[in-house]
Amino acid sequence: MALSFSAKLMRGVSRCAALVTPKTAPTSCRYFSSAENSRVLVNLNDKTGVATMQLNRPPVNSLNLEVLTDMTIALDKLQTEKDCRGMILTSSSPGIFCAGLDIMEMYNPQEDRLREFWRTLQELWKMMYGSRLATIAAINGHSPAGGCLLSLTCDYRIMAQGKFTIGLNETLLGIVAPFWFQDTMVNTVGHRETERALQLGLLYSGENALKVGLIDELVSPEKVMETAEGQMQMWLKIPDFARQLTKEQLRGPTVQKLAQHQEADIDHFVNFITKKAIQKSLEMYLNMLKQKKK
Ligand SMILES: CC/C=C\CCC/C=C/C(=O)SCCNC(=O)CCNC(=O)[C@H](O)C(C)(C)COP(=O)(O)OP(=O)(O)OC[C@H]1O[C@@H](n2cnc3c(N)ncnc32)[C@H](O)[C@@H]1OP(=O)(O)O
């Protein structure tokens, strides 16, 4: 029998809820291992109520079904921890925040897995965008497409200076950012900038991302985490209920829009991605990524 998404989540939570506390850990810090081989590393500081979630899937933290599932399980667990009030999302590989969705999930896919992959991304997006936690993205490297989307679900974005880029570049792959990716971008930088950025598949430098409001701060790579922690303190000075209700009023309608069209969105995604022409575009993009190395 097929399990519902929430049943799968619960099964995952009980499987993954083990608390792993290394001998060297500060006593106030609990380390959650969200999966047997830790594709995301999560710890919660009991003193501050702030959790850190690190993407940990080398080489580029691309988001496959397993990473998305682990993130969803970890976030669900943090949100049920009464004392957890904030989360910083970052990467364990400085230089790469997240390369976006794992293109191999979309290239020559099996339909069942493709559906589950997309549903899990939808669920994670809904949870992140509507999270009761104050969320800050510490973008310590490249952040294209799905990586940019993840950061956009947070309440505040701090990016590392350097040659890193960020943006919803889907059109460069010959694919189209779905309406809820677009909505998240519109809500952040406005309609006109989104029109330009998404049609051109713009990958912004940190400086340009700051200019258009795609990120909130640009700091040296070694300052990204401490800036995120400092900023988090400001967000946590606000009473939770007031901050959460305000967020819910501002973001709720966008989350509801996807919730109401979720099945149709999965059908549309599967139909689109499995088209011959789209498969060809993905193949060319994958080849281009490989050629780049030579
Ligand atoms: C109706 C709706 C339809 C569709 C909606 C779909 C929405 C899609 C959203 C997405 O997120 S699509 C993914 C878009 N991502 C990208 O365009 C990023 C591609 N990657 C890069 O640009 C670079 O890899 C980099 C992130 C800038 C890092 O560069 P670096 O030089 O450090 O690494 P390298 O390019 O050598 O990559 C190492 C290794 O990883 C493979 N790789 C990279 N990105 C991905 C990815 N997103 N998915 C799968 N694999 C990826 C790359 O090919 C290399 O593999 P190799 O070692 O085997 O050659």
Reported as a single tens digit per residue, the pLDDT across 253-286 is 999 999 999 999 999 999 999 999 999 999 999 9
Question: Do the beta carbons of residue 90 and residue 26 sit within 8 Å?
Answer: no
Ligand 1 atom closest to Cα of 165?
27
Q: Which of 114, 170, 218, 282 is catalytic?
A: 170
> For residue 3, what are its two tokens?
């399990």
Question: Do the beta carbons of residue 137 and residue 89 sit within 8 Å?
Answer: yes
Among 203, 289, 290, 291, which is best to mutate for testing ligand 1, by the most ligand atoms less than 8 A from CB?
289
The β-bridge partners of 78 are: none
Separation of CA 100 and ligand 1 centre (Å): 7
Q: Which domains does the chain have, with CATH numbers?
A: 5-291 (3.90.226.10)
Reported as a single tens digit per residue, the pLDDT across 47-72 is 999 999 999 999 999 999 999 999 99
The pLDDT mean for the chain works out to 91
Question: Do the beta carbons of residue 204 and residue 167 sit within 8 Å?
Answer: yes
Annotated catalytic residue 146: yes
Angle at 191 between CA 268 and CA 188, to 5 degrees: 90
**Residue 190: phi, psi to the nearest 5?**
95, 165
pTM attached to this predicted model? 0.92
Q: Which of 12, 49, 100, 146 is catalytic?
A: 146
The β-bridge partners of 42 are: 32, 53
* ipTM computed for the complex: 0.99
